[in-house]
Structure 1
Amino acid sequence: MTTRQDWHPAAPPLRPPTGDIIHVTTVDELFAAVEDVQPGGTILIADGHYLLPTVFTVSRDDVCVRSASGDRDAVVLDAADSDHGELFGFTECHNVTVADLTIRNVLHNGFKLNANIGRSVRAITIHNCVAHNVWQRGLKGVSGPEADDDSGLPLRPAGGSAPSRPRHFVDDCVVRYCLFHNDRPKRLDDEPYEQENPANFDGNYVAGMDVMSARNWHVHDNVFAGIQGRNGGARGAIFFWQGSENVRIEGNVIVDCDSGMWLGLSWPPEDTRHCVRYTVRDNRIARPGRTGILLSRHKDSLVQGNTVFDPFVGDERRPATDIDDGGVLVATDSPRCRPLRVGDDNDGLRIEDNLLVGDEDIHVGQDAGRIELRRNWWLQTAFPDPFVESDIGDLRLTDVGQALASR
C-alpha cells in the first residue's frame, strides 16, 4: 500500500504556527531545538531525511513539532542508525502536538508516551503522521504513575512477580489522520527482544498502537496496513486495555492486519474492567487474519456501524497462531477468523448495526456476560461486490451495498 490512497481519510491542515518558531534543517538543530523550545513555541522541520542517533524526546508543555511544508512524506525521522529502541518520546509534558511527518525503521516503539514517569503526560495529539516499519508498537502508551491504595483507580500490573497496583490514567490524547504500516510480516531478527526470547511470542509481538490506562482519548480517521506477526499472531492494529475509559475509536481503516482491534483482554485476572464507556463506530476492517474486533471486559460500551470484510475460507488460511476469547495466543492447525468476537466478562455492551461479510458470523463466548445484539448483518457471500474496491481494502459501500445493508 502506498502512503496515501485517494480513499483514505484526508487530514485538514493545521493552523499556522504561533509563538516562537525554531526552524530546523539538520539533526543537530533538531535536538538543540527540543531543548530550547519554550511553552507556546513550534519546531518547524524542513523537508529532508533525518537519521537520528538516539531517541528524540519532548519534555516541555504546550509545544508543537511539525514539518514546515505540511507534507508528511517529505520529513522522515529515521531510526535505522539509532542506539535506542524508540524514536519519538514524550516525558512529563502536556499539550504537545506532532504533525505532518514520518517516523520509520524503529526496533521497539515509534511514538512512546512515558506516562509512568513524574507528572505523566497529557493531551498529546498526533496528527497526519506516518509510522513505517516499527517492529513492536507504532504508538505505545503505558499506564500513569502509581497511586495510593485507596485512590479507587484500577489495578495495573507492577511487573515481574510484584502485586498489581493502582495507577493514574493518561488523559485527553488524540491520534488522527495517521498511517501505520509495515512492508512485511515481522521476523525474529527484526528486534533484539524477539531474538533473545523466541519462545515468548514467536515473532508476533507487534501492533499498530497499544495503549494502557487511557481516558478521554479519540482515535479517528487513521489507516493501519500490514501489521502482521511472523505467523499470524500480531496484536490488534488498535489495542486498548488495562482500565481505559471514555475512548472513542471512529472512522479508521484497517487492511491486511492479523487482527483489527483488541479492546480489552482477560489478563491480568484482578483487573476486571479493561474498557469502560467505549464508542467504536464506523470503522472498516478488510481481510483480518484472526479477528476483526475483539471485545473483552467492557462496561457500558457501544460498538456500532462497523464493517468487517473477510473473503477467505477454509484452506485459503495458512496454519498459524490463533487467539481465544480473552486475547490469549494459541497454536492451531485450523485457523479461522472471527470478524466480531465477544470475549469475557462484559457488562452493558451494545453491538448494533454492524456489517460482517465472510465465512463467520458474530462469535459470542460462553462467558460473554451482559450484552445486547441488535440489527447486525451477516453476509456469507456478497455478489455483486457491495464495496467500492474490496481488493485494495476500500470498504465504502456502493449503492448495491447500501441496499444490502439496509434490508
Structure 2
Amino acid sequence: MSRLLLGSFAISLCASAVACGSDDSGGSSGGTGATSSGGSAGSSNGGTAGGGNGGTAGSSNGGTAGSSNGGTAGNGGTAGSGGSAGSGGSGGLTSCAPLPMPSGNTVRVTPSEADQLPSIVAGAATGTTILLADGTYTMSTSGEAARRIQLKTPGVTLRGESGDASKVILDGEYQTDEMVTVHASDVTLAHFTVTHAVNHPIHVTPDESGEIVSGTRLYGMRIIDGGEQFVKINQNGDRDAFADDGSVECSYFELTDAGRPHIERNPGGCYTGGIDGHSAQGWVVRQNTFKGIYCAGEGLAEHAVHFWSASRDTLVENNTIIDCARGVGFGLVETGNVRDYPDNPYPGVGYIGHYDGIIRNNVIWANIAYFDTGIELDQARGAKVFHNTIAIGSGATGFYTGIDYRFANSLVEIQNNIAQRITVRNGAMGTLADNLEGSPLSLFVDANGGDFHLAAGSAADAAVDQGGALTEAGVDIDGETHDKGGAPDIGADER
C-alpha cells in the first residue's frame, strides 16, 4: 500500500488499482439562476457523525487515481472496457498510466509560442496531435478571441508531451473567460493543467445547430481554480444540439484557498462546481479526484459531479471526492429544461431531471462545515446508487445528509452504500436495501489517515458480507469485484 498526499490529506492507495447552479439553455459560460432543489440543509434527521480528520481512499488498480496538488493527475492509458451507464457494465480500473505517444501527424508547441497556441489549434487538421512541451503557457495578447483555445475540427488531440500534467500549465491568469472550448467530436485533452479561468477552464458545447458533439475525452488532466464550473457540458441555445458520449477520467480537480476569492458570486453567491453537465447523454466520469469545491459561508457550491437538465445514462464510478460541498448530483430542480429523446423511456411521467444512470464505488469524505450532501437525486428517474462509501468527519458541523432523493418523479435504487444517513423528500420514490447508516469511522482501517478500506476483525462486521448481490455492482476501489465472500460487502471496498 502506498500513500499519496493531497494537500493536508493523506490518501492510502492500494498497489492494485444548491442553492446555486444554472439551468441555462445556452452555450455561454455564465448562466442564470435557477430555483434550486436546495441541497439537504435543514432536512437532516439529526445527529452528526463523529470522527477524525483525514483523507479518503481513492485507489486504482496499479496506479494513483488522481494526484497531489503538485503531482500528475493520474495520467493514463485507456479506461478499460467498462460498459456504458445504460448497460451497467463493470469496467474495472486501469493504472492511469500516460497515453501512448501518437504515431500520426504531430505538432510540437513550446511555452514561448503561447500566444500562437489558439491559432495553431484552430489550424490543426483531423488526426493531428498537438504536443505541449513542459512549461507554463501564459498569453500576452488581449481579448477573449485571441486567448481562448477553440477546437472546431474533429479528431484533434491536445496533450502534454511528457505525460505529466503538473509540468504543462495553461494559466489564464484570470484574464481569459474560457480557456479551452470543444466544439467538435472526438477531441482529446490529456496530460496538462488548466488553471485560473474567469469562468470555465474547459467548456464542451456544440457550435452548429442540430449537431451532436460526441467522443470528447478528458484524461490525466489537472483542472485548478476555475471561477465557475471547472468543466461545463451543455447544449446550444436553440436546444437542438447536444454534447454526448464523452468521458472524464484519471483527472484531478481542486479549488484552492487562493482560488476561492475568484469564484463567480452571482447567482447564489457561489456559482462554481466540478463537472456540470446539461442535457448530456452517455458520459462516463471515472477515477477522478475532486477536492475543496466549496465556498466559505457565501452560498452553496454545485456538486463535484453534476448532470441535470434532462441528462441521461451517466456513469459515475470509482471517484474520490474530498471536502466538497456536494458530491454527486443527478438532477437538481423540480421542473426545468427538457430534452426530447426519441425513445423516451418514461412516457407520461412529466419532468425528469436525469434519466437512468449509475453512481457506484465512489468514496466521498467530508470534514468541512460547508458540507451539504454526498449524493443528491432530484427528479432522477431510474438512477442506481450502488456500493458508495460516504464518510463524514467531525468538522462537518452543519445539517447534511449522505444520500438524498427528492421530488415526485424520482424513482431510484439505493443499495449497498455506507452513508451517515439517507433522506427522502417531496414525494420521491425508491427501493432501498442493505445500506449502512450511522456507523462510526472505526468501520474503516484508518479514517484519520485517509484509508477507507474496511477494518479487519469485528470492527467492520456491520458491513462485511452484509450486502446484496447486484449485476451492476462494478468494481471496488482496488479494482476487485464484489463477490469475494459469502455476500458482497457494503460500501466501496470489498474486504
- The TM tier, using the shorter chain, reads 0.7 to 0.9
CA contact (8 A) 2:213 2:242 kept: no
Q: Which residue of 2 aligns with 1:177?
A: 250
In 1, Cα distance between the equivalents of 2:406 and 2:463? 25
2:347 paired with 1:290: no
May I ask how many residue pairs the two structures share in their alignment? Answer: 354
Structure with higher strand content: 1
2:462 paired with 1:404: yes
Question: Offset at 1:12?
Answer: 2.7
2:120 equivalent among 24, 28, 33: 33
In 2, Cα distance between the equivalents of 1:144 and 1:124? 16
Question: Offset at 1:122?
Answer: 1.7
2:423 equivalent among 349, 358, 363: 363
1:93-112 → structure 2 map (5 Å cutoff): 93-112=184-203
| Root mean square deviation, CA, Å | 2.4
Closer, same or farther: CA 226–347 of 1 in aligned 2, 3 Å: closer
Q: Give the match's secondary structure for 1:261.
A: strand
1:381-400 → structure 2 map (5 Å cutoff): 381-382=440-441, 385-391=442-448, 393-400=450-457
Q: Give the match's secondary structure for 2:448.
A: helix
Closer, same or farther: CA 389–134 of 1 in aligned 2, 3 Å: farther
Q: Give the match's secondary structure for 1:236.
A: coil
Report the AA paired with residue 363 of structure 2: R
Report the AA paired with residue 354 of structure 2: C
Closer, same or farther: CA 68–185 of 1 in aligned 2, 3 Å: closer
Report the AA paired with residue 279 of structure 1: I
Q: Which residue of 2 aligns with 1:206?
A: 272
Q: Once the two structures are superposed, what CA deviation does each residue of 1:341-373 show, in whole Å capped at 9, x if it has no partner?
A: 1111244411000012x4xx21111411x3100
Closer, same or farther: CA 181–30 of 1 in aligned 2, 3 Å: same
1:44 equivalent among 122, 131, 138: 131
1:6-405 → structure 2 map (5 Å cutoff): 7=13, 8=58, 9=65, 10-25=95-110, 26-52=113-139, 53=141, 54-80=147-173, 82=175, 84-91=176-183, 93-115=184-206, 117-118=208-209, 119-144=211-236, 146=238, 167-184=240-257, 187=260, 190=262, 193-194=264-265, 197=266, 200-202=267-269, 204-231=270-297, 233-269=300-336, 271=338, 272-287=351-366, 289-312=371-394, 317=397, 335-356=398-419, 358=420, 361-368=421-428, 370-382=429-441, 385-391=442-448, 393-400=450-457, 403-405=461-463
Closer, same or farther: CA 34–286 of 1 in aligned 2, 3 Å: same
Q: TM-score, normalised by structure 1?
A: 0.81
Report the AA paired with residue 463 of structure 2: A
Q: Once the two structures are superposed, what CA deviation does each residue of 1:245-274 show, in whole Å capped at 9, x if it has no partner?
A: 111000010000111122111243575111
Q: Once the two structures are superposed, what CA deviation does each residue of 1:123-171 show, in whole Å capped at 9, x if it has no partner?
A: 100001011111211100112463xxxxxxxxxxxxxxxxxxx544421
Q: Once the two structures are superposed, what CA deviation does each residue of 1:360-399 show, in whole Å capped at 9, x if it has no partner?
A: x21111411x3100111113424xx333442354423343
Higher relative CO (CA 8 A, sep ≥ 6), structure 1 or 2? 2
In 1, Cα distance between the equivalents of 2:277 and 2:315? 13
Report the AA paired with residue 437 of structure 2: W
Report the AA paired with residue 385 of structure 2: V
Q: Which residue of 2 aligns with 1:155?
A: none
Closer, same or farther: CA 201–185 of 1 in aligned 2, 3 Å: farther
Closer, same or farther: CA 167–392 of 1 in aligned 2, 3 Å: farther
Closer, same or farther: CA 18–337 of 1 in aligned 2, 3 Å: same
Closer, same or farther: CA 58–396 of 1 in aligned 2, 3 Å: farther
CA contact (8 A) 2:365 2:390 kept: yes
Q: Give the match's secondary structure for 2:121.
A: helix
In 1, Cα distance between the equivalents of 2:403 and 2:253? 22
Report the AA paired with residue 190 of structure 1: H
Question: Offset at 1:310?
Answer: 0.9
Q: Once the two structures are superposed, what CA deviation does each residue of 1:203-245 show, in whole Å capped at 9, x if it has no partner?
A: x111011110111111100000000123151111111101111
In 2, Cα distance between the equivalents of 1:225 and 1:392? 16
CA contact (8 A) 1:290 1:336 kept: yes
In 2, Cα distance between the equivalents of 1:186 and 1:65? 25
Report the AA paired with residue 184 of structure 1: D
